[in-house]
Structure 1
């Protein structure tokens, strides 16, 4: 992890490995302090607090969660007494997708030899993902703490003369997707509507909704964007991700019309210029997202999580690349 100052009052903590759970966080160091997203486990959250403590005088008064995924909310419990802000959907959605018990069970199982061998026979992708997570994460003792200050479309803060605009843009990646714009400082915290130099993963939403969100970010015209995953960027990061999504959707349509399954399509579609991004085999999720739209399925149709990770594993193996999530 490293901390970077991105404007007079805005800071970012970045997880440099840029794999699954390596989420970024932000700090707006005004008006008592606002932390944006709280990391994937308690050790990472404590490290983030230590880093931000170099520039803030005390624990922050507010926390903003950009969406419901575990890697952005599992440090919430360390901010006792802070106002936690998020989109109205977050309390319910966090209970669905960020309940820590299953992830704790997974890491404990993968860490046990006999259990790991049984799991690998059934779900090699889940075991590979669990082994990767064990390199850096410990999900023990996490308690789910949802936001209590909820908003619908927009929410604004005035931090001693610095306006902060919270804009709900989801569902793109998840239901509660929210971007945080600090106009005076020309900074935008994007959450997981933007992945930079790593392959995006979208669980709920549609391509069109994602394109609309990326267009909005272009209109806001920030100088610096803190993505949910990956290094800092400017609008070039938005342009690159939009190009990726359009490429995958177009290639997926050809495969869909040819009668291929989404898994076979993901094995066939070339990574192109995006093969250097982290976790390129996540391509499967974006192909399957396109197939769901071609089949006219609802944007919140549930995913088989184990099957999804197994499919990513199969794509990596078929393409002869490292299995990475």
Structure 2
């Protein structure tokens, strides 16, 4: 029997090649090779459930058309509020209910202190120039935020499938996982960054580690991370270890008397993983924002997500 590492390499090769959504199981398709989050859909006997939406308009329309070809789109689920997971919701407006955690609404349609539409105009013009022709104006953009929310657990039933929505705070306060036991798969959003840099800029690392511990209890064969290739449960330990390394590095800096700014300038794990697709130039910024957030967490300045 193939080892977990061999299995993950096979998945990585087969899910990253080409430029279309790839099948993980007969009923589950995902795409992991474009700027923004991983996204996909699950086909059931009574329709389709879409999980997260592309950041780029061209990809969002492609996902919508392929999902509609597979069946009636019955639900859209967002795993978090970050704009790379929700911008494409516009292209599913009025098609179906949208589900997410109750805290997803705290910061939905925000990008730090920037105007989210202006930010997306810049992203789309650079990474999806064809998409500019189908990008709605700021006035016409439909945010299409969740109208079904929950606090800890919720189940959606569709045909023979059950979709278990589970609060897994850490990367964000409103982070969720979508477990589909019939397919032996869980979509975890940015709770896992597989073989790419982890973004801590809005995180509670302690809650994150707790959520990763929970994910280890699920009986699944496949994990769809927020970024990077589809993986197995073996990667959960690697993600946990990387979070602990960050915590340790900043804690050591604090013990040496380093200020917040010194930790930001001196601590980097950029040599460990590439930054996710389309944001390669953001590597130094990711390190600096991660160091700042973890410094604040260790100083007791980050509210608990649990």
If the TM-score is normalised by the length of the shorter chain, which range does it land in?
0.7 to 0.9
Question: How big is the shift at 1:204?
Answer: 3.4
| Structure 2 residue matching 1:35: 3-state secondary structure | strand
Equivalent in 70, 74, 78 of residue 91 of structure 2:
78
Q: 1:87 to 1:268 in 2, by over 3 A?
A: same
Residue 94 of structure 1 is matched in structure 2 by 108
| Structure 1 residue matching 2:217: 3-state secondary structure | helix
The reply on whether 1:293 has 2:297 as its aligned counterpart is yes
Question: How big is the shift at 1:39?
Answer: 1.4
Contact 1:204 1:299 in 2 (8 A): no
Separation in 1, partners of 2:297, 2:105: 27
Separation in 1, partners of 2:265, 2:113: 32
Equivalent in 174, 177, 180 of residue 179 of structure 1:
177
Separation in 2, partners of 1:276, 1:68: 23
Contact 1:205 1:300 in 2 (8 A): no
Separation in 2, partners of 1:10, 1:237: 20
Separation in 2, partners of 1:252, 1:157: 41
Residue 145 of structure 1 is matched in structure 2 by 144
- Gap runs ≥5 in structure 2: 1-18
Separation in 1, partners of 2:259, 2:27: 49
Question: How big is the shift at 1:149?
Answer: 1.2
Separation in 1, partners of 2:149, 2:112: 20
Separation in 2, partners of 1:292, 1:224: 34
TM-score, normalised by the number of residues in structure 1? 0.75
Question: How big is the shift at 1:50?
Answer: 3.4
Q: Deviations over 1:132-178 (max 9, x none)?
A: 972347565333111111111111022212221000112x1112101
Equivalent in 35, 41, 44 of residue 27 of structure 1:
41
The reply on whether 1:61 has 2:74 as its aligned counterpart is yes
Question: How big is the shift at 1:48?
Answer: 1.9
Equivalent in 26, 47, 50 of residue 62 of structure 2:
47
Separation in 2, partners of 1:107, 1:144: 13
Separation in 2, partners of 1:103, 1:158: 34
Q: Deviations over 1:193-221 (max 9, x none)?
A: 11111111134342110001111111114
Residue 6 of structure 2 is matched in structure 1 by none
Contact 2:197 2:270 in 1 (8 A): no
Q: 1:222 to 1:283 in 2, by over 3 A?
A: farther
Question: How big is the shift at 1:131?
Answer: 7.3
Contact 2:31 2:40 in 1 (8 A): yes
Cα RMSD for the two superposed structures: 2.8
- Gap runs ≥5 in structure 1: 109-129, 302-325
Q: How many residues align?
A: 272
Separation in 1, partners of 2:43, 2:214: 25
Separation in 1, partners of 2:147, 2:196: 32
Equivalent in 225, 228, 237 of residue 227 of structure 1:
225
Separation in 1, partners of 2:120, 2:209: 35
Question: How big is the shift at 1:232?
Answer: 0.8
Contact 2:204 2:302 in 1 (8 A): no
